[in-house]
Amino acid sequence: MQVHIDALGAEGHGLARLPDGGTLFVPGALPGEAVRVLPTGGGQALLEEIITPSPDRVDPVCALFGRCGGCSVQYMSLPLSLRWKVDIVTRALQAAGYADVPVMTPWQALPRTRRRVDLAFRRVDQGIALGLHRRRGDVVDMTECHVLEPALFALLAPLRQMLHSLPAVRRGGDLQINMLDSGPDLLLATDGPPGNDDRRILAHFAGEQRIPRISYRPPASHDVPETVAQTATVWHEFSGVRTAPPPGAFLQPSRSGEDAIRQAVLHSLPAKRIKGDIIELYAGCGTLSFALATRGRVMAHEGDEAAFNCLRQACGGTRVQAFHRDLNRQPVMANVLAKAGAVVLDPPHAGAGAQLAQITDGKPLHVIYVSCNPTALRRDAAALRQAGYRLERLTVIDQFLWSTEVESVCLFTRPPPPRRR
């Protein structure tokens, strides 16, 4: 059947509205296109032919597109991708009850600026395949990438040779790389235990490639990673403060994206002197903490022990005080939040959970919410609206090019209580 694509769905699939009132989702189709499709049931259809292409349709820049499990919408121009992501976040907030969404100028990363990646590797006939998983399939060897920093991508070729020589790699494993200010930081997991030969090979590789640290993650996820090779001090700066991130530490995907989030948060703080402490929830290693400290005293809370230790050790001489606290089991209470000059939270993908109930009970005047999940944002924003909060500001940030992922920074405020005579 032939249909007209009217919009994009949350997964980037073209949406066609049918004469009978139904809808079809067509992966690979763009708004404004006339396409011929094959319905497959459940409101889904396969794209068979593009009759009238959209002016926003472009040729994928990567030869691996369609096989590699990374980029999913490289046929979509980047300007359209940014408009679509702004629309996703805007509609989530409208569904939460905010009819008027004040959107600031959105921000989008440049290609080849991503500084962290989680890869898989498998032994193959010719050596090692290192890359991302094929959609619902095996590892696709990353012979090309238009997302990663060039220095990070250049490391993949020698990594293949090294992994091929490791006795601990029987069938395969996983590898996380963070490009810290001190250099590449590797966290390795294999399907065999590392022995003396593995440690010797890893130490030689670290020295040869100028990698400050290589760590090994045991099969049990709760075990602390072991440093198997270290050639130099591991460090990374947040807002001019040097920290020592643990293996596998969370970093924003790009340096410029981290700065965009930081600036959006700082611009959301009260313009005048902040009355009360800034309470930061889910602080991590200090991505925002030390920037917030330029505006007031910061009470930073983090549940992950390794990240907390990193933050605590860097707090000396700053206006940041770190607290180790599982915010899902032991949230900061409403009576403490009520006295805050501002509450800043960057919750995990699932949202703020039990902590949000304490925020809505405490009713601090300013809540700055950093979101990586529009679905969780919609749920949490609805609770804030029911508690009397207004949405004052929205900044959409696209750090994940050619994907469905989107981040945002929202400022929620509530009117101050009336003054007594």
Q: What is the pLDDT of residues 345-380, one digit of tens each?
A: 999 999 999 999 999 999 999 999 999 999 999 999
Q: Answer yes or no: is 252 a known binding residue.
A: yes
Q: What is the pLDDT of residue 135?
A: 67
Residue 17 sits in which domain range? 2-57
Q: Answer yes or no: is 302 a known binding residue.
A: yes
Please indicate, yes or no, whether residues 389 and 305 belong to a single structural domain of this protein: yes
CA distance 22 to 16: 9
Q: What is the pLDDT of residue 136?
A: 66
89: Cβ–Cβ under 8 A, 6 or more apart, which residues? Answer: 371, 374, 377, 394, 396, 406, 408
Q: What is the pLDDT of residue 69?
A: 85
Please indicate, yes or no, whether residues 199 and 279 belong to a single structural domain of this protein: no
386 lies in some domain? yes
Domain end marker among 217, 239, 261:
239
69 lies in some domain? no
Does an H or E element contain 267, and which?
Answer: helix 255-268
204 lies in some domain? yes
* Residue given tokens 């770190």 in the structure block: 322
Profile the chain (421 residues) by mean pLDDT over runs of 10 residues.
Answer: 93 92 94 96 94 97 92 96 97 96 95 96 94 83 96 97 96 96 97 94 97 89 86 97 96 96 97 91 98 96 97 96 96 96 96 96 97 97 97 97 96 81 64
421 lies in some domain? no
Q: What is the pLDDT of residue 354?
A: 94
325 lies in some domain? yes
25 lies in some domain? yes
Q: Which two tokens stand for residue 23?
A: 């809808």
Q: Answer yes or no: is 75 a known binding residue.
A: no
Closest CA to 243 of 235, 231, 255: 235
Please indicate, yes or no, whether residues 220 and 288 belong to a single structural domain of this protein: no
Q: What is the DSSP track for 62-119?
A: -TTTTTSSS-S-TTB-HHHHHHHHHHHHHHHHHHTT-SS--B---EEPPTT-B-EEEE
Please indicate, yes or no, whether residues 402 and 294 belong to a single structural domain of this protein: yes
26 lies in some domain? yes
Query: Which CATH number do you get for residue 141?
Result: 2.40.50.1070
What is the domain count for the chain? 3
Axis crossing angle, helix 374-386 with helix 354-362, rounded to the nearest 10: 30
Amino acid found at 413:
T
State how far the alpha carbon of 72 is from the alpha carbons of 62, 137, 351, in Å.
11, 15, 24
Active-site position among 145, 285, 315, 372: 372
Q: What is the pLDDT of residue 141?
A: 95
Query: Which CATH number do you get for residue 290?
Result: 3.40.50.150
Q: What is the DSSP track for 11-66?
A: TS-EEEE-TTS-EEEETT--TT-EEEEEEEETTEEEEEEEEE--TTB---S-TTTT
Please indicate, yes or no, whether residues 255 and 345 belong to a single structural domain of this protein: yes
Q: What is the pLDDT of residue 386?
A: 97
Please indicate, yes or no, whether residues 325 and 197 belong to a single structural domain of this protein: no
Q: What is the pLDDT of residue 220?
A: 63
Please indicate, yes or no, whether residues 34 and 171 belong to a single structural domain of this protein: no
Please indicate, yes or no, whether residues 229 and 319 belong to a single structural domain of this protein: no
State how far the alpha carbon of 7 is from the alpha carbons of 94, 106, 254, 278, in Å.
17, 20, 29, 41
Q: What is the pLDDT of residue 271?
A: 87
Residue 170 burial (10 A CB sphere; 0-12, 13-18, 19+): exposed
235 lies in some domain? yes
CA distance 137 to 198: 28
Rg (alpha carbons) of the chain, rounded to whole number = 24
Q: What is the pLDDT of residue 275?
A: 87
In this structure, the strands spanning 44-52 and 34-41 are antiparallel
Q: What is the pLDDT of residue 421?
A: 64
CA distance 174 to 369: 32
CA atoms within a 13 Å half-sphere pointing along the CA-CB vector of 154: 7
Q: Answer yes or no: is 125 a known binding residue.
A: no
Please indicate, yes or no, whether residues 282 and 363 belong to a single structural domain of this protein: yes
- Concerning whether 372 is annotated as a catalytic residue, the answer is yes
Q: What is the DSSP track for 329-354?
A: TSPPPHHHHTT-SEEEE---TT--TH
